[in-house]
Chains A and B, each alone.
Chain A
């Protein structure tokens, strides 16, 4: 669970240098290139199927909460494709409901990171100067925290906090906690794009034409950063799921009885030798979704980066 963070200006610079040639080739070509990446297509299909299945979870004939004591800890069978858990509940149904939670955590973390990171990066990059200095110092202060340790501490504390909307490590709490450390990458990416583009002709032109700052930021510069943002967001989505499962293992994740892939897996770990299916299926779900997300991220990166593709088709 080493979260590879671009926690240094240098890495930001590398990304920025990439952006300059990426921004030129946006648009329809992206999807075309994405389609040529077999792994990305595989990942996309898997994630799509998982998402649809979890959405359809309520159609399951089994109740995810109600116990069925005669059927406790049954091995997978035709009627229970993933077996049953310690209360005799259908594990497949539980895994689907858990998937809703885990995928929601992933999505929420991305949204939260974007909501914090994009405005900060945009403001810093567009206005520069003192504002840039302050905002980047703020970002630095987040980057100099040992983030996973703080994450553990925060979730350990918030597990006991029962505030409106944030009831004891519910989905929103966990997403906030993970998201609070996820936004810095976005801030750096966006800032780098803005630094590069704010002096270009088309920005100067729209400024001369009397375009408001907000309009220039939102509709002229920001779209150029979308490529790398999407790539990063995809990866962030994956980290969030795996970090929630790590927190669950420590006891600080989404709290049972609400199922998440993370807590289904870590609760079942104790029973691994006796009831392996309890651990195998949630683990498999995490594995499948993360590997798919990584492939999608890889595919997107290639899609947004014409050089790699050009090389592949032999034009370089």
Chain B
């Protein structure tokens, strides 16, 4: 019993010490000052998302730095450092249709300063561009190869010459990844990828980094020189690194944290009913949960030479579509936040009218019967009995893969889909892998690139407002070659390819029409089965107002507007 006494003595001492210390203990930062705390699970690697792209770097980058433009949650581009967005209408975008080139002239705000008082100028943009393209120490951003040159016009305007028509030009030096770096402060000799100023940034955004204790916390204070009058509305932002999700959740409930970034469904579910926490999903979500069908036999990548014994039949793919109950998945595993999505073009600016597929197990079974798959031995799994794609007697059994990082809701979804398909006689063996292995290059053993799968489920979708590059990488014939793109279905359609060639234009009406035509082809051919968009939310305390989760950016995209009630 001695040990028990010892233990209780220990706790009594703790208790007394705590009570005494409580008096002189600093009150939590949040209540005393006009400050908030954000909790994230890991350190940002730096303030430059182009280098490691963990999301946490973009989160802190949005607090301190600005790009030329950014994208709001509705998918609308708005200017940040730019005075206005260059368009054909205002004459800042000039196209040479014959040569297939274009030049874009940007005019910058003249009232933006770095935190040391130096104005932000076109020289900073040119400096940033040149640092990025340095082949030795630089980085890579989408569409960088389309740029021929960036020329200074005057201190606050410059012209970018493109060697082709690049529809994504508006967010090329903005969005959630790219910002303008200070030419007079960053040391070019250290190189874009590893320069010191990516860890000790000079602000032109709403906040200034005051302290960074690696692995523990970062403190930001209001930037007195921020150009928007009366903003930011908060004096200090503390970012605490809290690896364990349960602890982050508890801190949020206790009010010691005001914002949890990328709150997953599991945590949203646990937070329901907490009066001081609010979860508002972003209005749209680019991440569409989808099933990839491998049209080539497992382990191969050529659907013509080695077609998939089961999935190469369109009727089988349609049967699978009819057998998946998206509403139940949304309701049960995604708390109703998941919204059905059945086409790539479901959010502005490109919305196409494709009829929603119907959940109908009987119809699904009928399709399989018709395709020549029947359960003749009564084991509940169909075999090939007169099917076109496999030998007689081939068993309808496949591997169904998903990735681990998404967590419980996706794993439950995977298990549930396997059960539903089991009901129509398709047997699925479930595998969960790490995402990086699913998506790695075929030379690195990537499962999808090497065609080493039957079906898998994960989420993707185009970022921002321009789907062209995305469509090319996922659906074009050229992208079906391993490691050339991400056409994992190895699907190929001439008509689609022709349409895709036509959308590299700035003619919006034409693009809308072509995209919807593509949508119909994809719906008919079903290389991928799109299911739903999951929730995209960041939980925050109710006292923190104006927080707006966005699928196009990190939650800190509008941190300057945040206020405390």
Residues of chain A at the chain B interface (Cβ within 8 Å): 65-67, 69, 72, 86-87, 159-160, 168, 251, 255-257, 267, 269-274
Contacts and interface: CB of A to CB of B under 8 A. Distances in A.
B15 to A, nearest CB: 23
A270 B434 contact: no
B412 A270 contact: no
18 contacts: A65-B415, A66-B419, A67-B415, A67-B416, A67-B419, A69-B332, A69-B416, A72-B332, A86-B333, A159-B433, A160-B437, A168-B431, A168-B432, A251-B404, A257-B411, A257-B415, A270-B245, A273-B249
Count class of interface residues, chain B:
20 to 34
B267 A270 contact: yes
A271 B416 contact: no
A282 to B, nearest CB: 15
A49 B269 CA distance: 37
A66 B404 CA distance: 20
Nearest to B437: A160
Contacts of B97: none
Nearest to B270: A274
A256 B431 CA distance: 8
A152 B437 CA distance: 18
B432 A270 contact: no
A255 to B, nearest CB: 6
B266 interface: yes
A69 B246 contact: no
Given A72-B332, A269-B246, A270-B267, A159 B412 contact: no
B266 A271 contact: yes
- Residue from A67, A168, A270 having most chain B Cβ neighbours under 10 A: A270
Given A69-B332, A271-B270, A273-B270, A256 B432 contact: yes
B332 A160 contact: no
A65 B411 CA distance: 13
A159 B404 CA distance: 11
B463 interface: no
Contacts of A267: 408
Nearest to B253: A273
Contacts of B266: 270-271
Nearest to A249: B244
Given A255-B432, A257-B411, A273-B249, 12 more contacts: A86-B408, A87-B412, A87-B415, A160-B445, A168-B431, A168-B432, A251-B404, A257-B430, A270-B246, A270-B266, A270-B408, A273-B270
B563 to A, nearest CB: 30
B18 interface: no
B328 A69 contact: yes
Nearest to A65: B415
A168 B438 CA distance: 13
B318 to A, nearest CB: 24
Contacts of A160: 433-434, 437, 445
B246 A272 contact: yes
A121 B344 CA distance: 63
Interface in B396-453: 404, 408, 411-412, 415-416, 419, 430-434, 437, 445
Contacts of A65: 415
Contacts of B415: 65, 67, 87, 257
Nearest to B445: A160
B401 to A, nearest CB: 10
A67 B420 CA distance: 10
A270 B249 CA distance: 9
Nearest to B273: A274
Interface string B528-549: 0000000000000000000000
Contacts of B333: 86
Contacts of B332: 69, 72
Contacts of B404: 251, 255
Contacts of A251: 404
B416 A168 contact: no
A160 B403 CA distance: 11
A256 B410 CA distance: 12
Contacts of A69: 328, 332, 416
A269 to B, nearest CB: 6
Contacts of A271: 266, 270
B416 A87 contact: yes
Nearest to B245: A270
Nearest to B430: A257
Contacts of B267: 270
B336 to A, nearest CB: 14
Contact of B270 (A87, A257, A270): A270
A154 to B, nearest CB: 15
Contacts of B270: 270-271, 273-274
A260 to B, nearest CB: 14
Nearest to B420: A67
A159 B328 contact: no
Contacts of B269: 274
Contact of A168 (B245, B249, B433, B445): B433
8 tightest Cβ-Cβ pairs between the two chains A and B = A160-B437, A274-B270, A69-B332, A255-B432, A270-B266, A270-B245, A270-B246, A87-B412
Interface string B11-23: 0000000000000
Contacts of B408: 86, 267, 270
Contacts of A159: 433-434
Interface in B233-248: 245-246
A272 B253 CA distance: 14
A257 B416 CA distance: 12
Nearest to A275: B270
Contacts of A168: 431-433
Nearest to B272: A274
A251 B435 CA distance: 13
A168 B245 CA distance: 25
Nearest to A251: B404
A96 B419 CA distance: 22
A86 B412 contact: yes
Interface string B325-346: 0001000110000000000000
A267 B432 CA distance: 14
Contacts of A274: 269-270
Contacts of A255: 404, 432
Contacts of A67: 412, 415-416, 419
A8 to B, nearest CB: 29
A313 B117 CA distance: 86
Interface in B247-306: 249-250, 266-267, 269-270
A270 B404 CA distance: 16
A255 B411 CA distance: 11
A55 B245 CA distance: 35
